[in-house]
Amino acid sequence: MTVPLDRALVAAHTRWFGGIASPGQRAIPEETAIAFSYNRFGYAVMMASPADLEDFAVGFSLAEGIAACREDIQDIEIVPADNGIEVRMWLNDSRIEAFTKRRRYLTGPSGCGLCGLETLSQAMRQPRLVTSDFRVTAQALAGAIGSLQGLQPLNRQTRAVHAAAFWQPDKGIVAVREDVGRHNALDKLTGALARLGIDASRGAILLTSRVSVEMIQKASVPGAPIVVAISAPTALALRIAEQAGITLVAIARDDGFEVFTHGDRIMFECPAHVA
């Protein structure tokens, strides 16, 4: 049977609450095996939500270093199959030559950001250095966190997926991507920014998940100077964010947050107005 391409399934269930059992329904997110291939060579199989797959393909390729820019991918084809979905990509000649030299197979569960790596050096690869002089007021950043809640339709249905968003002070949230895996959501966002031609150096990435080291590594790919998460970071994520020049904000709510690295990008007092 061909896998569904829907984002969610409405499933019947029995609810027990207050000592009483009653029938009901709940929307639950779809999860599908997504197989990436490049010029017909298989590369990775990830469990993910079957939505925004072209964004996922581009973002994953950039994060893995298979593509250096969106233009390195000449074509993308989405092919539903019996056991999952094939995402077929064709690289230009210069990139496919490099790809064949480093080709590996990867099978990862949803949200897996480092599965299948063969060496410690691969897991601890140096992130891209972010040098943006972008700054933002604390009040504006708190407002960004508050505005994200209403822009997660799949999570509103299911209460079971993560989101990654990109916010700019003058435009608000310009892109949001959701997935059962937090790494997948961030890869999809990276792909969306690349395909839309949005300069990530002038805004902040917002995450509805905890921040582990691979999330910082991935966030450095589009060059985002600020990463904001609603949950706590790991100690290693802090060290890598410091190295990467990324301002890491966590435990974020619409009424406050905690800044851990490169806090000079956050203005805690409104700039004085010149008469």
- 184/220 Cα distance (integer angstroms): 15
Read off φ and ψ for residue 132, nearest 5 degrees: -60, 140
Active site residues: 112
> What are the angstrom distances between the C-alpha of 84 and each of 3, 60, 117?
6, 18, 23
- 79/32 Cα distance (integer angstroms): 13
Strand order in the sheet with 247-253: 172-179, 162-168, 204-207, 226-229, 247-253, 256-259
